Amino acid sequence: MSDLVLHDDDLDEDCYRARLFLSLLGLEARRVAVDVVPGGEQDGPAFRAVSPAGMLPVLRIDGQKVCGAGAVLLALAHGRPEWLPGERADFARVAHWLHFAGGPLRATLLMRRACLFGGAGDAPSARRRAAVGALRIMEDHLAQRRLEGGTWFVGEGATVADVALFPAAALCRDWGEEYSAYPALRRWVRAVRALPGFVGMPGIPDYG
Amino acid sequence: MSVTREGGWYPLMLSADLETGTVAGSAVPGRDLAVWRDGQGRAHVWDDRCPHRGMRLSLGFVREGALACLYHGWRFGAEGRCVHIPAHPDLAPPGTIRTVPLPVAERHGLVWASVGAAGVQPEGDPAMEAAAWLPVRSVRIEAPWRDVARAVGMPEGRRAAVLDRDVDGRVLAALLPVGAGACMLHLLAAAPAGVERLHDLADWGRDVRSRAEERAGRACLAGIVA
């Protein structure tokens, strides 16, 4: 992967998924900033020409566009069995969590966007309950994993599933959820932070 | 353990969840707390407030045996005294700059802190003393702690007890009230216990949560939302 360009927004957690994985892989991408708040550039014709559905981030790999965090993570993990297991059972487990990150876990991302940029506050709502429910699914899984000595979502080491899930847990304080309610997530967040090449983002301080 | 309704010893978290050199947030009624473990393995519980600018110390980090505030990096040593101010590295901070430490105890696999008039230690009862306890997990429950206490069969007025119902074998349950309508339920299994039994207990904790939240009308179901 010689030539990498990332269309990127600093405050967007999907873009952070891509930046985090690039950094963990030791890859450098030239970054092109997309002004999402307040510019709304992701919905303008120039960006839509790059990403037809307005999805961020976009990674160009040797000129080929890959749109959206899930696709970018998979494209980067391809051919790296330590991050994307080749054996069927663990591959299926990673696939399950990637799908979860792009599905029910979106509730946490929507809550964060509403609280940071929409002025929605953190009043009880169906969306908040769904977001808390999604974090709990992760908490419950990690609490069970720990009983058999596991640290990561799948297998013995960090996989692309951990990268896809990490920002939702690490940023939950942005929408008013405290780590103290999620002791298993808190331990796992520390483990991810300790990975070589880890980088933070606004809201995830990188104090080493 | 104290049987007072307010005050006394509170079970904050599983000892296993407070790793060496880390800090976590917790609370007792009306009081936010920073809980951290130093390099020697000692647990400390302080008010969750930096005496400098009021920042929450639970967002900080442990450096050189002291808890550092994320805001300006002021460091506080084991007794709560400020030991280092990065902007004035040569200054010996005066003893008046200090946090408020709470009495701490680690017993039965739990970190306890005491508030108000309480005994020197959380008193065990014979059943709690009779076993070594293995951590299972803590479960956050969006229901009042007294309802959960009743549901799991906790003796009246107690925050922790060895239970003998619903699940096989002995289980130590401890409840920490969180605000008015929520609590943390800590679960431990009497040693020895195999992995399967630990999983069963973790599942049971989840069931307790579901039933309590259903009664309280506070179920949190994940799903696709717009």
Say which CATH number the domain at B184 has.
3.30.530
- Residue B224 has its nearest CB partner, among A104, A148, A190, at A104
Could you count the other beta carbons within 10 Å of the beta carbon of residue A50? 16
Strands of the sheet with B82-84, listed across from one edge? B61-63, B66-68, B75-76, B82-84
The residue range of the domain holding B39 is 8-104
Residue B92 · residue B76 · CB < 8 Å: no
Sort out which chain B residues have CB atoms less than 8 A from A205's CB and list them: 70
H helices, E strands: number in chain B: 3, 15
Nearest-Cα distance to chain A for B156, in Å, is 25
Label the pairing between strands B110-115 and B133-141.
unpaired
- Residues B82 and B159 occupy one common structural domain: no
Q: Based on the structure, what is the number of domains in chain B?
A: 2
- Residue A147 has its nearest CB partner, among B22, B202, B222, at B202
Segment B160-208, tens digit of pLDDT: 999 976 566 789 999 999 988 999 999 999 999 999 999 999 999 999 9
pLDDT of residue A127: 87
Asked whether the bond before B192 is cis by omega within 30 degrees of 0, the reply is yes
Q: Which residues contact A172 (CB under 8 A, 6 or more apart)?
A: A108, A112, A135, A178, A179, A182
The residue range of the domain holding A189 is 88-193
Domain contains B180: yes
Average of per-residue pLDDT across B59-84? 89
- Residues A101 and A188 occupy one common structural domain: yes
- Residues A100 and A175 occupy one common structural domain: yes
Domain contains B37: yes
- Residues A23 and A95 occupy one common structural domain: no
Please, is B32 exposed, middle or buried when counting C-beta atoms within 10 Å of its C-beta (0-12, 13-18, 19+)?
middle
Domain contains A182: yes
Segment B128-158, tens digit of pLDDT: 998 999 999 999 999 999 999 999 999 998 9
- Residues B13 and B91 occupy one common structural domain: yes
B65 to A2, A133, B21, B188: CA distances (angstroms): 44, 37, 8, 29
Assess whether pLDDT exceeds 90 at residue B67.
Answer: yes
Helix A13-24 vs helix A160-170: angle between axes, to the nearest 10 degrees? 140
- Residues B100 and B175 occupy one common structural domain: no
Sort out which chain A residues have CB atoms less than 8 A from B25's CB and list them: 178-180
Interface of A with B in 112-141 (CB under 8 A): 126-127, 129-130, 132-134, 136-137, 140
Q: With a cut of 50, which residues of chain A have pLDDT below it? A: 208
Gap between the Cα atoms of B7 and B114, Å rounded: 7
DSSP assignment letter at A204: B
- Residues B201 and B134 occupy one common structural domain: yes
Q: Which residue of B has its CA nearest to A180?
A: B25
The CATH number of the domain where A22 resides is what?
A: 3.40.30.10
pLDDT of residue B3: 42
Segment A55-108, tens digit of pLDDT: 999 999 999 999 999 999 999 999 999 999 999 999 999 999 999 999 999 999
A144 interface with B at CB cutoff 8 Å:
yes
Substitution target from A145, A147, A165, A187 for chain B, most B beta carbons within 10 A: A147
A186 with B178: Cβ contact below 8 A: no
Alpha helical stretches, state H, B68-221: 126-129, 145-152, 195-216
| Secondary structure (3-state) at B139 | strand
CA dihedral over A82, A87, A89, A92, signed as positive or negative: positive
Assess whether pLDDT exceeds 90 at residue B43.
Answer: yes
B55 interface with A at CB cutoff 8 Å:
no
Torsions phi, psi of A2, nearest 5?
-80, -45
- Residues A181 and A145 occupy one common structural domain: yes
Please list, residue by residue across B124-161, b when 16 or more beta carbons sit within 10 angstroms of its beta carbon and e when fewer do: eeeebeebebbbbbbbbbbbbbebbbebbebeeeebbb
Q: Which residues pair with A60 in a beta bridge?
A: A5, A65
Domain contains A207: no
Residue B185 · residue B175 · CB < 8 Å: yes
Residue appearing with tokens 């809980």:
B35
pLDDT level of residue B2 (50, 70, 90 thresholds): very low
Domain contains A123: yes
Tell me what ipTM this predicted complex has: 0.91
Gap between the Cα atoms of B174 and B172, Å rounded: 7
- Residues A133 and A94 occupy one common structural domain: yes
Sort out which chain A residues have CB atoms less than 8 A from B136's CB and list them: 147
- Residues B97 and B65 occupy one common structural domain: yes
Gap between the Cα atoms of B69 and B58, Å rounded: 8
B223 with A133: Cβ contact below 8 A: yes
Alpha helical stretches, state H, A118-194: 126-147, 160-170, 183-193
- Residues A73 and A92 occupy one common structural domain: no
B140 interface with A at CB cutoff 8 Å:
yes
Nearest-Cα distance to chain B for A63, in Å, is 33
B25 with A136: Cβ contact below 8 A: no
- Residues A37 and A114 occupy one common structural domain: no
Domain contains B223: no
A190 interface with B at CB cutoff 8 Å:
yes
What angle (nearest 5°) sits at the alpha carbon of residue A91, between those of residues A87 and A92?
125
A183 with B24: Cβ contact below 8 A: yes
| Secondary structure (3-state) at A183 | helix
- Residues A106 and A73 occupy one common structural domain: no
Q: Based on the structure, what is the number of domains in chain A?
A: 2
Domain contains A198: no
- Residues A32 and A65 occupy one common structural domain: yes
- Residues B135 and B185 occupy one common structural domain: yes
pLDDT of residue A207: 65
